Structure 1
Amino acid sequence: MGHILQQKGKASLERVLAALLLPHKKLYEQRDQGTDQEVLFFSRVSTPERHCSLTGQQMAAIMNDEVFKVFTTHATIVLGKVLLMGPLTAYYRFSRGAFANEEDVAQKTAEDGKDGKKLLRTHPDVERVRRCHQNDLETAVPFVLVGLLYTLTGPELSSAQLHFRLFTGARLLHSISYLGALPQPCRALSWMLGMGINFSMVCRVLYTVLVL
């Protein structure tokens, strides 16, 4: 009798454990080229390897999303332009003979036997490039951060393309206007357009996920 009860208790415990370890189905909607597709993910309470596999599937789904692809393209273009401003500043410093640190002119002083401190000066062209670079950092970094959050809110592809294309075009026009000393309001309008796009994405993110 006791043996039978022990077997029944063991069977009951096995059923409870099996129920706890059954996969829980989670249904997600994935928007692909304007059509809703249902993607089924399974999560188990098991090993870390299973969680890593799920993470890989989710990351692959994100990388294949059209909105994310558009964002990645334009973010790379904008950041690439920001990176180019550093070498451009160095070029203007050497070509204009305007340096900011004593060690920068120490070798030139030893070679020419002249007072290198005369090269420790500012030049309008160098300062213009530096200001353009600073403005890029103030605008492009928020674009990348807010733009990433914006893509996670599931915007329409056409709306996302409009935001990203306008921002990229505005920043390119801003740099051309700044470095080429184009008359105002070319630079001001391009700056305001870029800032407006950033604020538009901020509003979209807050409207979608605001929790206080």
Structure 2
Amino acid sequence: MDEISLNNPVFVTYAIASALLVLKIMGQGWMTVYRMMRTNGGFVSPEDLRKTPLNPNPRPEQLELDDYVDRSRRMHRNDLENIPGFWMAGFLLVMVSPPLWLAQILMYGFVAARAAHAVAYATRQTHDVRATFYTAGSLIVIFMAFYVLATLVI
């Protein structure tokens, strides 16, 4: 189990990338809450229209789609669909001891791809632009999985 140690620079790379991605997911959730509070809308559940200290004047239109809020919610959902695959493939990659340079390119490359995807989504870039960054991240995770399989099979 020397692979899972702070003495292993590949594991340290994985830990740093994973921590950044945790902050990305959690931060996106908080961004959605901020946007809901700023617009006093974009709620998704009927019970959100109950009178509370945070919603003293509930209105039916608070349940209407609000693109400002929903854009953040879609970004969060996209992270939740993509980042867990990185965590698993990245952990398995650590276990097969790749060269440090390769691990750094792959892991930091994935973090950069997710950050670029978020910027593209937040600034309303076209699907083609967002898809470019999604594809880069996706191919990195796929490569990591194949690298693990190739290392274990050979």
Matched with 1:123 is 66
TM-superposed CA distance for 1:170, in Å, is 0.4
Q: Which amino acid aligns with 2:70?
A: E
Q: TM-score, normalised by structure 2?
A: 0.88
Percent identity over the alignment is 27
Larger Rg over CA atoms: 1
Cα deviation for residue 98 of structure 1 reads 2.1
Distance in 2, Cα, partners of 1:65 & 1:187: 34
Task: Report the alpha carbon displacement of residue 59 of structure 1 after superposing the two structures with TM.
Answer: 5.7
Corresponding residue of 1:89: 32
SS in 2 for 1:177: helix
Q: Deviations over 1:108-166 (max 9, x none)?
A: 6x944xx6222221111222111111111111101011100001111001111110111
Q: Confirm or deny: 8 A CA contact 1:70 1:161 kept in the other structure.
A: yes
Q: 1:60 to 1:172 in 2, by over 3 A?
A: closer
Which string of whole-angstrom CA distances, capped at 9 and with x for unpartnered residues, describes residues 30-79 of structure 1?
xxxxxxxxxxxxxxxxxxxxxxxxxxxx4697221011101110111012
Q: Structure 1 residue 73 and structure 2 residue 16: aligned?
A: yes
Amino acid at match of 1:107: K
Structure 1, unpaired ranges of 5+? 1-57
Task: Tell me the TM-score normalized by structure 1.
Answer: 0.65
1:192 aligned residue (98, 114, 135): 135
Residues in 2 aligned to 1:124 and 1:146: alpha-carbon distance in whole angstroms: 33
Where does the alignment leave 5 or more consecutive residues of structure 2 unmatched? none
Contact 1:106 1:116 in 2 (8 A): no
- For 1:134, the equivalent position in structure 2 comes to 77
Check 1:207–1:119 CA distance in 2 against 1; reply closer, same or farther (3 A cut). Answer: same
Q: Which consecutive segments of 4 or more residues in structure 1 shift more than 6 A?
A: none
CA distance in 2, matches of 1:145, 1:180: 30
The structure with the largest strand share of the pair is 1
RMSD over aligned Cα atoms: 2.2
Q: Answer yes or no: is the 8 Å Cα contact 2:3–2:11 preserved in 1.
A: no
**Contact kept? 2:3, 2:94, Cα under 8 Å:** no
User: Is contact 1:105-1:116 (8 Å) kept?
Assistant: yes
Distance verdict in 2 for CA 1:71–1:125, change over 3 Å:
same
| Length, aligned pairs only | 152
Counterpart pick for 1:150 among 90, 93, 112: 93
| Cα drift, residue 99 of structure 1 | 1.3
Contact kept? 2:3, 2:95, Cα under 8 Å: no
Deviation at 1:94, TM superposition (A): 2.1
1:178 aligns to 2:121 (yes or no): yes
Q: Does 1:98 align with 2:42?
A: yes
Q: Which amino acid aligns with 1:83?
A: M
The one of the two structures with greater contact order (alpha-carbon pairs below 8 A, sep at least 6) is 2
